[in-house]
Amino acid sequence: MEHLAADTGPGIHRVLCERPATMRASDLFGYTGRMASQDQTLTDEVRARCAELRADIDRHSRLYYEEAAPVISDLEFDALLRELQELEQLHPELQTSDSPTQRVGGAPLEGFVTVTHRVPMLSIDNTYNEAELREFDRRVRKGLDGTEPVYVVELKIDGVAISIRYEDGVLVRAATRGDGYRGDDVTENVKRIRSVPLRLKDDPPAALEARGEVYMTVKELERLNKLREKEGEEPYRNPRNTTAGTLKLLDPRQVAQRRLDIALYDLVPEEGHELTTHVETLKGLERLGLPVSPHYKRCASIEEVLQACEEWREKRRELPYETDGLVIKVDSAAQRRRLGATSKAPRWVIAFKFPAEIAQTKLLNIKIQVGKSGALTPVAEMAPVRLAGTIVKRATLHNFEDLAKKDVRIGDTIEVQKAGEIIPQVLRFVPEKRPADAQSFPLPRECPVCGTEVHKDPDSVCLRCLNLACPAQVKERLEHFASRKAMDIEGLGPALIAQLVAQKLVTAPADLYQLDVETVAHLERMAEKSASYLIQAIEESKSRPLGRLLFALGIRHVGSRTGEVLAEHFGTMDALMSASMEELTQIHEVGDVLAKSVYDFFETEENRALIAQLGAAGLNMREETRGAKEEAQTLAGKTFVVTGTLENYSRDEIQARIKQLGGKATGSVSKSTNYVVAGENAGSKLDKAQQLGIPVLTEAEFEALVEGGA
């Protein structure tokens, strides 16, 4: 083992040195397994061996994931982990919540529990140029009565905000940002991130809550996409969205297969443990074994901040992960407390966003994409070009009117940028590089998928295929119908839908409910077990709320919130289908365009037939909370504004309660506001209410108002 470093731990030496000279490396697993299973008696030696293995595994994890300096091979690392797993299986009483074995395996989760953040995870205001950064500096110095602040500049990693909590040094909870006040408990998934320590080093405090960013490297995204391409599945679009989707997977084993990483950048103050400076906070996190980005810099003036921003403008391309800017923070904790926060964001921090990168490439072709509503969208197919950290081959051209205005032609050199660093879009062609044989793209007269004549949409600039049986539309509608916010049919992805449509097994959503295990099991990459899971998921979708079904139907302009509004107002599908235009427009959140879209949808014979088929299949056609709407309308005619963090309600819950009782919940305070319900950390809305003399209620006073009548 010449490549083995001299500082390899004693546990590694025991595994390697005790194995027979004739043993191959591939035999390690079986060998360690026999070692672990020789004796099932729990002895002091077994306890010591478990402790030794945990220490070795943790040490080598840090060397691999944090310091990028591994001293053993993956096979040797896996051998240690396997031995510890087998010892814990033999002696379950030795298994602890912070054991490295808890990163692998684990049963699928039932769902995610919503947790309340003890300290809200506020958003950060953005700046885009030098002038705005200087204005931020001016505001900070004014807030500090002229005192010169020291800043810390950090990379703004493009990932998913996370809060992780340790108690007595052991990881007990991890939660997403959510709405800033409440997020999803994703502890089991975060445990699968190798760089997250399950137990802190050094002498950790009794309680510690750190904030940071979970992300995926560009290289890992490329690895996953190669696997998906082999399986005939659509590649993931970017690291940030893939990270977010991974954290929401219900099976932690799948999370473990994707190599997420994390960088922590702040601590939530705990009682009796006051923070001093941000730099000391970062160093403290590192001492405890928590991963921190090394790319931070202390700047004594705004001039140094601007210099750091300029340095990273191009240098960021060398990073293994995506970043869309920098975060500038006041270093002193005392100064941060003096500056405070608005209801939305702290006053002591700001993000500097790099301008969207623009790249030039050649337009090879223009293809037409047909959406679920029949809309035809031109899509540019380009020579591959690196843009904002990823290789881009396709970009949107929005619509044919926009294509004509830009006069983009096949063969042109074009400029492309990512809108919001995510969606590639064509900006313009480069006139001086236009070749003589550049070809204009003709306005299509028929659908490229089904050949049906296309029509100009009277309400927009798009062209539309009106054939509801068009295979492209069928696939798009089924994907939407099965999506998480709609009927949430787990396992019914694009690849499987494409097979179902191609074999004419499904031509409309109602056909999904006629499928059986035998039929599905005969499809490519399916078997009886996976088919059974899918049929079970389809069956479970029948009980989704009426509002989800209305959204799933793909009615134009009807989003998930509008579906809930319509379901709450009418109570049943029959009542909604019978509603007149006048009845629809009288609903507070429904305008003329939306009302006409809903009315026209249910006036169409094919759509009424689809509803009948779904009803016959057993789907829920009644709003389950309809009975609650029949409560006394104690808040009728009253307008409420909710601000701050409430103890017993989320913002959505209390607003739904207000509407349920006949009241109106709005987002801004005005003279027409009747009441403001204020929780902790209420901001400018509370100030404005007090200025206007509007009654301010606590949660208890709000409940008393509900019970006693307005």
Catalytic residues: 156
* Contact (CB, 8 A) for 260 and 246: yes
Parallel, antiparallel, or unpaired: how do β-strands 260-267 and 375-387 relate? Answer: unpaired
Encoded tokens for 167: 């108690």
Q: Which of 482, 503, 508 is nearest to 609 (CA)?
A: 508
**How many residues in the chain?**
710
HSE, CB side, 13 Å, CA atoms: give it for residue 3.
Answer: 6
β-pair partners for 633: none
Q: What are the angstrom distances between the C-alpha of 650 and each of 561, 656, 708?
A: 16, 10, 22
A 10 A CB-CB count for 444 gives 15
3-state secondary structure of 568: helix
Q: How far apart are CA 242 and CA 392, in angstroms?
A: 17
Residue corresponding to tokens 């931020």: 136
Q: How far apart are CA 259 and CA 240, in angstroms?
A: 13
Residue corresponding to tokens 């016959």: 616
Amino acid identity, residue 406? K
Residue corresponding to tokens 């003036």: 301
CA 613 to chain centre: 34
- Give the H/E segment covering residue 28: helix 28-37
β-pair partners for 664: 639
Q: How far apart are CA 151 and CA 584, in angstroms?
A: 54
